[in-house]
Structure 1
Amino acid sequence: MSVRLACLLLCCRILAAADRTNVATLPGLDGALPSRLETGYVTVDEEHGAELFYYFVESEGDPGTDPVLLWLNGGNRCSVLSALFFEIGPVKLVIEPYNGGLPRLRYHPYSWTKVTSIIFVDSPVGAGFSFSRDPGGYNVGDVSSTLQLVKFVNKWFVEHPEFLANPLYVGGESYAGKLVPFLVQKISEDTEAGVKPVPNLKGYLVGNPSTGESIDHDTVVPYAHGVGIISDQLYETILENCGRGDYANPKNGICAQAMNRFNDLIGEVWGAHILYKNCIDASPKPDDATAGRKILKEEIVVQNRLPPRPAMDCQTYPNYLSYFWANSNITRETLRIKKGTVDEWVRCDDDGLLPYSGDLGSIIKYHRNLTSRGYRVLVYSGDHDSIVPFLGTQAWVRSLNYPILDDWRAWHTDGQSAGFTVTYANSLTFATIKGGGHTAPEYQPERCLAMFGRWISEKPL
C-alpha cells in the first residue's frame, strides 16, 4: 500500500470517527448509563447531503458476542427516540408535571439491551435528528428510504468491524413493520452478491406490523365486535351490506351509514390500546406558555411546533416531555447534534410537512421469501391494539401455509400466561402479548423483554 493511499484511508477513518460520539450519561439522568452509548451520523445521500442520525447502545451482557439489533420506528417520520425512551431502551422519562426545566430520566429495568446491542436509527431523512443539507434530500419514500438504510448498514459496519461476527437482526413496529422485511431482503441480496462488509444476518422481528394489505385494517371491524365495542346488530349490518373487508370504501348507502356509526363507536376508545384513557390533546395552559418563554431564553430551543399538553395520566404525556428534552441545548451538545441541521426536533411529522411516498405495496411476498430461505422471524401482536389488530396479523401469517411445529399455546412469565404463541416451519413464530397495545413493549415491558430474550436466544417462548 502506498504512503498516499494509507494516509487517505487514515484521514477517512478520522473524519468518520468525528461523526461518532461516546456518551457516558444523558442529561436528566442521575448517574452513568448501564452500558456504552454512541451517537453519530451516516451519510446516505451524497448528492443532497442527507445523513441519518443513530444511537448505538451496547448490550449490558456481552457486547462482543450478543446479537446486534437494528431498530426502526413506525409512524409518520417518527423519531426513534420514541422506541429508546418509551419501549426498549435503557432509560425512560420520569412522568411528573413539567416545570420548564429539563425533563428527568430514570433507568428502565426491562430494556432489550439486557440481551442485545441496539442501533436505533432516525429514518427516513427528516425523522428526529436526521437531516438533508439540500431540501431535495427529504423527498423519499418506502423504497428509497429503505435503500438508504442498506447503505447505512454497510457504512456502519465498515466503521464497526468488531460487530461483523455478531448475529444481526432487524426490527420495527407499526409502519416500520412494512419496511423491515424489504430491508432484510435487500441486505440478504447484497450478502449473496458478496458485497463487503458481510454482516451476520440471522433474521428479523415485527410488532403489530403493517403489510400494505387491506387485512391490516379490515379486521378492525371483527376485532371491535369481539371485544364488545360494537353490537351484534351493527356487526351483522356491516357484514350484510359491506361484505367482508374493504370497509374504507362503502359500496352503498346502508354500508356508509353503518360505517359512520362504527367510526363513532371505535372513536370512543384509545386506538393504540382499547383499555387506556382516550385522551384528547389539549392546548398549552398559560403556565406552560410562560415556561416556554423562560426556557427559550435559558436552555431550550422552542420553535413553532410545541405539542399540545395532554393530561399527565395520558399515555401521550411522555411525548410532550420528550419535546423539551430533545430540544434542550444541553441535550444537543451531549448528543453532538450538528449545528444548523435540525432547528426544532419533533417526535413525529404529524403535520406532514415533508414529502413521503408509500410506494412499496404489499410486503407479504418478502415475508414468504425470507422465511423460506432460513431467516428466523418473530411476528408479535399486542392483543389490545385496534389500529393493526392481531386478527389480521394472525391471518396473513397463517396464509403462508407453513406446517405447524408447536401448536397454539400459552407462553408464561412468573407462572402466568403472558400471551399465546404458535411456531411454524421455516423458523416462523407468531406471538400475542396479553395486555399489549400497538407498541407492545410500551404497555407490557416485562412480558415483551421475556418474549424477545427467549426468541433472540433461540429458546421456545
Structure 2
Amino acid sequence: MEIHGIFLICSLFLALGAGVDGSPMNDLISKLPGQPDVNFRQFAGYIDVDDGAAGVSFFYYFVEAENDSMNQPLTVWLTGGPGCSAVGDSFSSAGPFITTKNARGLNRNLFSWNKVSNLLFIDSPIGAGWSYSNASGPYKNGDDSTKKLLVSFMQNWYEKYPNFKSKDLYVAGSSYAGHFVPNLASGLLDDNKQSKELKFNVKGIVLGNPMLRKKLDILARYEFFYSLGLVDSVVYEKVKKECTAIDENNYSSKFQANWSSGCQMFMDSDSFIFYNSIFDPGYASAKLFDAVRDPCVVNFTDLSLGNELTKVSKGVDMCTLMRADFYFNIPEVQKAFHGNRINSRLPWKGCNTANFPFNYDDKNRDMLPVLKSLLQQSIPITIMSGDVDGAVPAVGTLKHLYKLAEEMNIKSTKEEVWSHENKEGGKKYAFGDLLTFLTVIEANHHVAFSKPSEALYLFTNFAVNRKH
C-alpha cells in the first residue's frame, strides 16, 4: 500500500507538471544546443506578474548550483540598460556557459557563480529580452513599476519553486541594476513586513559598476578620462567651471533647468569629447565601457557562414557579447529555452537600449536613500567596480559611498589592497561592517565578464561568506 501511495503522489506531481522535488518539469531545459554535459539542471520560461489588462510576463532562466543545490543560497541577477536582457547577460557574466567562437555551441564558464549559489536571471523591465506585455501601445517602464512587477515575479516564482523559499537570498546585478537591485531588495523587505511569516530571506545585495547618481556619474567620467590623458586640461577645467549646479551634497533628479547650456553640452556628448580623434560614434561609445581594450567589430555575416568571431584584447575576448546575440537568434536555441512565447519576428538583442521606453526622471534618481534604508535594516551591500570603466567610473561611486557613510555617521572606513591568486586585485574600502567597495584592476564596466575569476572570488568571499 505504501509503494502504491507513493506512486500515486509522484504521478499526480508529474501530471501537474511538477517533479517530485517540486520543480516545474515543463520549464526544464533538457539541453541547450551545443551545450556540454553538466551535473546541474536548468529551467527557463515565463512568470506572469500582472493578471490585469496589461498581461505582463517576465522571462527567466534558473540554473541550479553545481553541487548540493538544496543547501546553497539563491542569487537573483538583474542587469541594466535599461533594456538589456539578464538572461543574455548570463552568457557573458555569472552564468554557466559562454558561446564558442562560431556562436553555434557553448563552453563551460569556469568561473560561473553557480559554483557557490543557485542562479536566477530575470529579463526586466517589460520589453527586455523575452519579457513582454499584452497591453496595446508603448510600454510604460520606470523604477517603481519595475520594482512592483519584480516583487510579484518573486512571489509567483517561489510558488513555482517552493523548495527555495527558505534559502538565503542575494540580489545582484550591474550598471543600471544599481537602481533595480536595491529597489527589489527594498520591495522584498517591505513585503516581509506585511506578512506574519518570512517570505524573502534577503541576506545581501551585490552591485557591479552601479549607476547610483547618474548626473554625477557622468561628470565623474571627465575626471576618469582626464586621469588617463584622454581629456586635456582645457576641457577638464571647462567642465568643472560649467557643471557647478550640483555636487554630492545637493544631488537632485529634478534640477534639469539649472544646468548651464555648456554643462548640458558636456553631458550629452561626453564620449565624443573623450575620443575626439575617432569618427565612428559606435566605437567611441563602446570605449566608454572599456578604456583600455579595443571593442569587437560586429560581423554577423561571418557567423552566418560558420566562421569564427573573436577579438582578444588584454586577455578578454571582446566578441563574447556579440556571439551571444547570434546564439539567441537561432530557432533551436529559442525552442530549447521555451522563449519568444509571442513569436516575435524582431531579432533578439542582448541590449535594446535605443529608444527603450523608460521614465527619464527615474534614470536621474538618487539611490543613496535606498542604500541607506537597506543598511539600516542590516542588509550587507557589496559593490565591485572595474577601474577601466568610463561609463560609471569607480572614482564617482567611491564619492557617493563616502557621502553615504557621512550621512549615516559611519566613521570606521579603511582602505587596503585585496589580492587574488597571489596578485593584487584592487582596492578595498570598508565602511563599517555592512558596506564594502572593491575596485578591480583592469576590469571594465562588466566585472564578471572582463575579470570573471576575480568576480567569483569577490562574490564568494565578500557576499556569500562575508569576509572582512
TM range (shorter): 0.7 to 0.9
Question: Residue in 2 aligned with 1:215?
Answer: 216
Q: Which residue of 1 aligns with 2:109?
A: 108
Q: Deviation of residue 24 (structure 1)?
A: 3.7
Indicate the SS of the match to 1:135.
coil
User: Which residue of 1 is the match for residue 165 of structure 2?
Assistant: 164
Answering whether residue 275 of structure 2 is matched by residue 271 of structure 1, we say no
1:416 is matched with which residue: 416, 423, 442?
423
Q: Which amino acid is 1:456 matched to?
A: A
Q: CA deviation at 1:159?
A: 2.0
Judge conservation of contact 1:63–1:116 (CA < 8 Å) in 2. Answer: yes
Query: 1:329 — aligned with what?
Result: 331
CA contact (8 A) 2:76 2:122 kept: yes
1:453 alignment partner, one of 446, 457, 460: 460
Q: Match of 2:377?
A: 373
* TM-score, length-scaled by structure 2: 0.81
Answer whether contact 1:19 1:40 (CA < 8 A) is retained.
no
Aligned-partner residue type, residue 328 of structure 1: I
Residue among 36, 43, 54 paired with 2:41 = 36
Deviation at 1:457, TM superposition (A): 3.1
Distance 2:322 2:403 in 1: 40
CA deviation after TM superposition for structure 1 residue 333, in Å? 2.0
Give the C-alpha shift of residue 250 in structure 1: 6.7
Please report the TM-score for the alignment, with normalisation by the length of structure 1.
Answer: 0.83
Hey, what's the Cα distance between the residues in 2 that align with 1:449 and 1:162?
Answer: 25
Quickly say closer, same or farther: Cα 1:28–1:372, change in 2 above 3 A.
same
Q: 1:51: Cα distance to partner?
A: 0.9
Q: How far off is 1:372 after superposition? A: 1.4
1:256-295 equivalence runs, <5 A: 263-266=272-275, 270-278=287-295, 291=305
Q: Distance in 2 between matches of 1:137 and 1:62?
A: 43
SS in 2 for 1:138: coil
Cα deviations by residue, 1:308-341 (Å, 9 ceiling, x for unpaired): x987558653333223321222112211236434
Cα deviation digits, residues 10-68 of structure 1 (max 9, x gap)? 89x93787684212421122x32342111121101112222111011111133112111
Deviation string for 1:321-369 (max 9, x for gaps)? 22332122211221123643433322222442x5322454222101011
Aligned partners of 1:332 and 1:60: how far apart in 2? 24
Specify the code of the residue in structure 2 equivalent to 1:37: Q
8 Å CA contact retained: 2:176, 2:210: yes
Partner letter of residue 342 of structure 1?
A: S
Alignment partner, residue 407 of structure 1: 414
- Three-state SS of the structure 2 residue aligned to 1:86 is coil
Q: Secondary structure at the match of 1:133?
A: coil
Aligned match of 1:46: 51
Structure 1 distance, partners of 2:411, 2:418, is 16
Q: CA deviation at 1:152?
A: 0.4
Q: Structure 1 426/193 Cα, relative in aligned 2: closer, same or farther at 3 Å?
A: farther
Contact 2:101–2:309, Cα closer than 8 Å, also in 1: no
Shift, 1:224, TM fit:
1.1
Q: State the match for 2:252 in structure 1.
A: none
The alpha-carbon deviation at position 92 of structure 1 amounts to 0.3
Matched positions, count:
426
Q: For the structure 1 residues 182 and 231, does the alpha-carbon distance in structure 2 shift closer, same or farther, using more than 3 Å as the test?
A: same
Q: Distance in 1 between matches of 2:119 and 2:195?
A: 25
1:395 aligned to which of 396, 399, 423: 399
3-state DSSP class of the match of 2:70?
A: coil
CA spacing shift, 1:261–1:196, aligned 2, 3 Å: closer
Cα distance in 1, alignment partners of residues 61 and 120 from structure 2: 6
3-state SS of paired residue (1:140): coil
- The answer (yes or no) to whether the contact 1:60–1:113 under 8 Å persists in 2 is yes
1:68-107 matched pairs, under 5 angstroms: 68-96=74-102, 103-107=104-108
User: What residue is the counterpart of 1:362 in the other structure?
Assistant: 366
Whether the 8 Å CA contact 2:288–2:391 is kept in 1: the answer is yes
Of stretches 123-132 and 387-396 in structure 1, the one that deviates more from structure 2 is: 123-132
**Residue from 337, 340, 343 that aligns with 2:342:** 340
> Which residue is 1:120 aligned to?
121
Gaps of 5+ in 1: 1-9, 97-101, 293-308
Instruction: List gaps (5 residues or longer) in structure 2.
Output: 1-11, 248-255, 279-283
Q: Cα–Cα, structure 1 residues 65 and 19, in superposed 2: closer, same or farther, change >3 Å?
A: closer
Q: What is the CA distance between 1:384 and its match in structure 2?
A: 0.6
Contact 1:154–1:197 (Cα < 8 Å) also in 2: no
Question: How far has the Cα of 1:192 moved from its partner?
Answer: 1.4
**Matches for 1:144-163 after TM superposition, within 5 Å:** 144-163=145-164
Alpha-carbon distance between aligned partners in 2 of 1:40 and 1:262, rounded to the nearest angstrom: 38
Instruction: Tell me the distance in 1 between the aligned counterparts of 2:199 and 2:467.
Output: 28
| One-letter code aligned to 1:443 | S
2:351 counterpart letter in structure 1:
C
CA distance in 1, matches of 2:453, 2:444: 14
3-state secondary structure, aligned to 2:81: coil
C-alpha displacement of 1:453? 0.8
For 1:23 and 1:90, the matched residues in 2 are separated by 14
User: How far did residue 183 of structure 1 move?
Assistant: 1.3
Question: Using the alignment, how far apart are the partners of 2:170 and 2:267 within structure 1?
Answer: 43
Q: Given that residues 225 and 232 in structure 1 are in contact (C-alpha distance below 8 angstroms), is that contact kept between their aligned partners in structure 2?
A: yes
Asked if 2 retains the 8 angstrom alpha-carbon contact of 1:212 and 1:362, the reply is: yes
Would you say the 8 A contact 1:52–1:122 is kept in 2?
A: yes
The match for 1:297 is none
Moved more, 194-203 or 183-192: 194-203
Shift of 1:131: 2.0
Q: SS of the residue aligned with 1:271?
A: helix
Identity of aligned residues (%): 26
Contact kept, 8 Å, 1:169 with 1:203, in 2: the verdict is yes
